[in-house]
Structure 1
Amino acid sequence: MKAVQFITYGNPERVLDVREVDKPIPKNHEVLVQIRATAINDYDWSLVRGKPYLYRLLFGLFRPRVQIPGMELAGMVDAVGSDVTRFTVGDAVFGDISEYGFGTFAEYVCVDANALVKKPDNLSFEEATAVPHAFCLALQALRDLGQLTKGQKILINGGGGGVGTLAVQLAKLEDCVVTGVDSGEKLEQMKAIGYDHVIDYKKTNFTKNGDTYDLILDCKSNQYPWSYLRALSPNGIYVTIGGNPAGLINLVLFGKVLSLFSTKKLLILSLKSNRSLDFFLELYDQKKINIIIDGPYLLKDTPRLIQYFGEGKHRGKVVIKGETVSSLSH
């Protein structure tokens, strides 16, 4: 089968190649999935480059232990292990497999059955693969940690990406006033999907312009922790979904000190993969949420697309069609 593989860390366009590798065989608890669509995430950008360097403690100090990136998929069950009872051959499935590993930038992948849910017929494979990681991040950050309530004033940093384009729709369901921060070329599309206000981060630092917010969802985490306090209203909550590990450690430490003398909160989301996807499907059935896709592209374009993603140029979720069925959308 074809797979996007790398054997050394570096620039995605230099170290990634589409190669022929052995088709995997599922273990007793696993499902073999023929991948119809996959998507690019921050983990892929970090994994391929081996940066930040702290990630190498997980992925391999000098060479990557994981050689095929990719952590989201939508596809068809091709085979099941002897212990699997939830799925049968021919089922359409989707999910975020990051809790169990990587490997979705390929024609097939074996994954623990618990990493998958069944895909309904009214959701295309390209749409389905764009959902699990981004939607769960958005929902858990806003609702579970951020205590989202009606009419709040909210800011989403990195508002034009996969998480941001879903998060703004969740916030608007609660009649919130939402400001999105991203690069200037994305701002018109961001207005079209529901943002009330938009900020070009290249022109304005949202932590210094005097505005304050009840809730900040940060998809970038690219400033010092204390900077965010200026942008929070009294009792305001800041939630980050990730970033540089060193910066996150600083945020944890600063947040604990802050809790001793302030009503403001600085929080880091610990994602629970694939939780509440049934809620997404309810919203989708009721036409209350849309999926913003950048693509779909071909598997051979993956090296370029990971670089494109890392440079923050994408709009919505970057989606790649499955290699064997690139002409199919369902």
Structure 2
Amino acid sequence: MQAAVIDAYRQPHPTLKQVPRPQIRPNDVLVRIVAASINPIDLKTKDGGLKMLLKYDLPLIMGSDFAGTITAVGSAVHDFAVGDAVFGRVQKDRIGTFAEYLAVDQGDIARKLRNLSFEEAAALPLVGLTSYQALHDIMALQPGQKVLIQGGSGGIGTIAIQLAKHLGAYVATTTSPANFDLVKSLGADLIIDYHTTNFADVLTDYDAVFDTRGGQTLADAFQIIKPGGQVVSIAGLPNARFGKAYGVAWWKRLAFGWVTRQLTRLEKQHHATYTFLFMQPSGAQLTQLAQLVEAGSVTPVIDRVVPFSLINQALDYSHAGQAVGKIILKIAESEAD
């Protein structure tokens, strides 16, 4: 099969090459991939930015989420069958969706809805699960609470705004003026032009912040949080509390605690809680997200669909950080949507 492979960290681009099809385990299904989406974590992985949390053997096939059709099932698989259209986000130690075939655990997939194209389904897993786990599982947003979602026009932001509105929250977001109409259509109540306005100067008394930027933007988030509020970040640094929960070595927990000491001070100063989110795959949660899509509460936003052969152009576009919604790789033609 054809796959996008890196042979070393910081390799400028992956190489499209022929590799063996993956072998399935008893709990696996083999999927013929129709579409896959590009995410910032793919670029971080390529550049070795996750080595403190994840150690991969090289060469490595890139890619984290996908949609496609099952072509084979393991001996312990009973809920899925050959021919089922599915979508999912693989476990972090089994990435490799930028390929024509993928072996994935049955617990990490869900059935694709008939009213969703494969491209739309591939746009959902990582951003949908990340948003769901941030807003529902960690923040436990309640109707009437106020949340700031950074980067409302990005892949995460476009889903997170819709999910927060489904949960009944008041949503503020940051984006460029060119995307004001989009984020408003998704449900944003207050829109801030990050080019001209620091959100910390105009927002106050918020229950939660969903940070997708890190750095000073993350530090500023604590200024708008009410006592007892929460800051959840996918772009900040993991702290010692995360390291303990994730089960990393003691010396890594010490290192995490040291590099996040400023965030720990901000937590105490503002009586808030900081959580670093490292999303976990879940077929059950994907099924819940699919139901929200079917009900019209959530709609995937796609910036562009790019042929697999042009993957390096797509990765460069993702790296530029200007995509509105998701960038999708078209791996193969679907036999039927």
**Structure 2 length-normalised TM:** 0.84
| Cα distance in structure 2, aligned partners of 1:183 and 1:66 | 38
| AA of the residue aligned to 1:10 | R
Quote the residue 1:263 is aligned against: 271
| AA of the residue aligned to 2:318 | F
| Cα distance in structure 2, aligned partners of 1:153 and 1:262 | 17
| AA of the residue aligned to 2:24 | P
CA 1:183–1:66: 2 relative to 1, 3 Å: farther
Q: Verify the 8 A CA contact 1:213 1:236 in the aligned structure 2.
A: yes
| Cα distance in structure 1, aligned partners of 2:14 and 2:278 | 29
Q: Verify the 8 A CA contact 1:157 1:181 in the aligned structure 2.
A: yes
| Cα distance in structure 2, aligned partners of 1:189 and 1:224 | 22
C-alpha RMSD of the superposition: 2.7
CA 1:159–1:304: 2 relative to 1, 3 Å: same
Matches of residues 208-219 of structure 1 in structure 2 within 5 Å?
Answer: 208-209=201-202, 211-219=204-212
| Cα distance in structure 2, aligned partners of 1:166 and 1:227 | 23
1:59 to 49, 55, 59: 55
Compare the two structures and name the one with the higher helix fraction: 2
| AA of the residue aligned to 1:302 | I
| Cα distance in structure 1, aligned partners of 2:236 and 2:270 | 24
Matches of residues 111-150 of structure 1 in structure 2 within 5 Å?
Answer: 111-150=104-143
Whether 1:299 aligns to 2:308 is yes
Q: CA deviation at 1:245?
A: 5.1
| Cα distance in structure 1, aligned partners of 2:173 and 2:185 | 12
| Cα distance in structure 2, aligned partners of 1:195 and 1:72 | 26
Quote the residue 2:17 is aligned against: 19
My pick for the range that moved more, 300-309 or 22-31, is 22-31
Q: Verify the 8 A CA contact 2:222 2:270 in the aligned structure 1.
A: no
Quote the residue 2:213 is aligned against: 220
Deviation string 1:91-146 (CA, Å, 9 cap, x unpaired) is 11111103441111011112222222222322221111111221121122112221
Give aligned-pair identity as a percent: 33
Q: CA deviation at 1:42?
A: 2.3
My pick for the range that moved more, 109-118 or 34-43, is 109-118
Quote the residue 1:97 is aligned against: 90
| Cα distance in structure 1, aligned partners of 2:336 and 2:321 | 26
| AA of the residue aligned to 1:292 | V
Q: Verify the 8 A CA contact 1:73 1:104 in the aligned structure 2.
A: yes
Quote the residue 1:278 is aligned against: 287
**Structure 1 length-normalised TM:** 0.86
Q: Verify the 8 A CA contact 2:226 2:270 in the aligned structure 1.
A: no
Q: Verify the 8 A CA contact 1:252 1:268 in the aligned structure 2.
A: no
Q: Verify the 8 A CA contact 1:74 1:95 in the aligned structure 2.
A: yes
My pick for the range that moved more, 179-188 or 252-261, is 252-261
Residue 135 of structure 1: SS of its match in structure 2? helix
Matches of residues 198-209 of structure 1 in structure 2 within 5 Å?
Answer: 198-209=191-202
Consecutive unaligned residues of structure 1, counting only runs of 5 or more, are: none
| Cα distance in structure 2, aligned partners of 1:34 and 1:188 | 37
Q: CA deviation at 1:270?
A: 4.2
CA 1:210–1:193: 2 relative to 1, 3 Å: closer
CA 1:237–1:56: 2 relative to 1, 3 Å: closer
CA 1:298–1:329: 2 relative to 1, 3 Å: farther
CA 1:212–1:309: 2 relative to 1, 3 Å: farther
Q: Verify the 8 A CA contact 1:8 1:15 in the aligned structure 2.
A: no
Consecutive unaligned residues of structure 2, counting only runs of 5 or more, are: 243-255
Q: CA deviation at 1:55?
A: 2.0
Report the count of equivalent residues. Answer: 321
2:317 to 302, 305, 308: 308
